[in-house]
Amino acid sequence: MSGTEQSNPVGGARPTGPSGSPLVGRGDADRTAAVTRSLLGYGIVAGPFYVVVGLVQGLTRSGFDLTRHDLSLLANGPLGWIQIGNLVLTGLMTIAAAVGMARSLRVVGGGPGTVWGPRLVGAYGVGLVGAGVFPADPAYGFPPGTPDAPPAAIGVGGLGHLLFGGLGFLCLVVGALVLARHYAAAGRAGTAWFSRVTGVVFLLAFLGVASGSASPVVVLGFWVGVVLVWTWLAVVSVDLYRRTPLLTPAV
């Protein structure tokens, strides 16, 4: 059936979307839906990209210990540009996914958390970009030759990294909890609870790292929080991708 036939069915009745709104035919509206779905795809790609690039560096760069060193420290040294690029690109992908979330939620229906949830996820993406622009200070013996202790003094880069990273992490925590309200109101209890657990676990993991501890328990706990966050973003992106209609309701 052609797009024209879908827009003008026999009898004059127009097809409706999930919210009961009339659907427009193929053309600009279909491209709008395609763009929304493409943006949501970045929410699926961002996490694996960040984790794989980080792990490869962590396993191959001399002096780096995955049980003691935060991935942010990889932004130091001759190959630091790789982690800087990793943070910036992942942040941009997260921002794109947040835009897709906002567009999708406007189509599938409003409700609690549908406005600020995507905004807070986007703010997390901005935090990642900023954390890449402002590299963390060398610490805990990395790069090799650095004293095995916290930085003696925090430089401009380190301060910017802490501010962007900390604010971004907090926005992500609140964003997960806010979107949990959307899923609870939509009757999707499983995703609502997953969102709540993600927000709480990531907050605890962040507080552990923010304490300045480099113990394996704290560092590995933060790894758990990071993987959980990226899994949550992928789950939400897939869910909204599937719920976004191929034809966009007329506004």
Which of 51-55, 218-222, 243-247 reaches the highest mean pLDDT? Answer: 51-55
In the chain, beta strands by DSSP E: none
Token pair for 113: 């958390």
What residue type is 42 in one-letter code? Y
Residue 48 to residue 54: CA distance in whole angstroms? 10
Q: Is the pLDDT of residue 57 over 80?
A: yes
Is 15 domain-assigned? no
Is 13 domain-assigned? no
- Tokens 């003696």 belong to which residue? 152
User: What's the confidence (pLDDT) of residue 6?
Assistant: 40
User: What's the confidence (pLDDT) of residue 248?
Assistant: 58
- Give burial (CB, 10 Å; 0-12/13-18/19+) of 65: middle
Report CA Rg, the chain. 21
Q: Is the pLDDT of residue 179 over 50?
A: yes
Residue 152 to residue 150: CA distance in whole angstroms? 6
Is 164 domain-assigned? yes
Is 21 domain-assigned? no
Is 77 domain-assigned? yes
Number of domains in the chain: 1
Is 8 domain-assigned? no
Residue 140 to residue 59: CA distance in whole angstroms? 17
Query: What mean pLDDT is reported for the chain?
Result: 86
Q: Give the range of the structural domain holding residue 30, as residue numbers without chain letter.
A: 26-243
Residues 113-168 have pLDDT tens digits of 889 999 999 999 999 999 999 999 998 899 998 998 888 788 888 899 999 999 99
Sign of the Cα torsion 229, 231, 233, 239 reads: negative
User: What's the confidence (pLDDT) of residue 191?
Assistant: 94
Is 230 domain-assigned? yes
Q: Is the pLDDT of residue 204 over 70?
A: yes
Is 251 domain-assigned? no
Residues 226-247 have pLDDT tens digits of 999 999 999 999 999 988 887 6
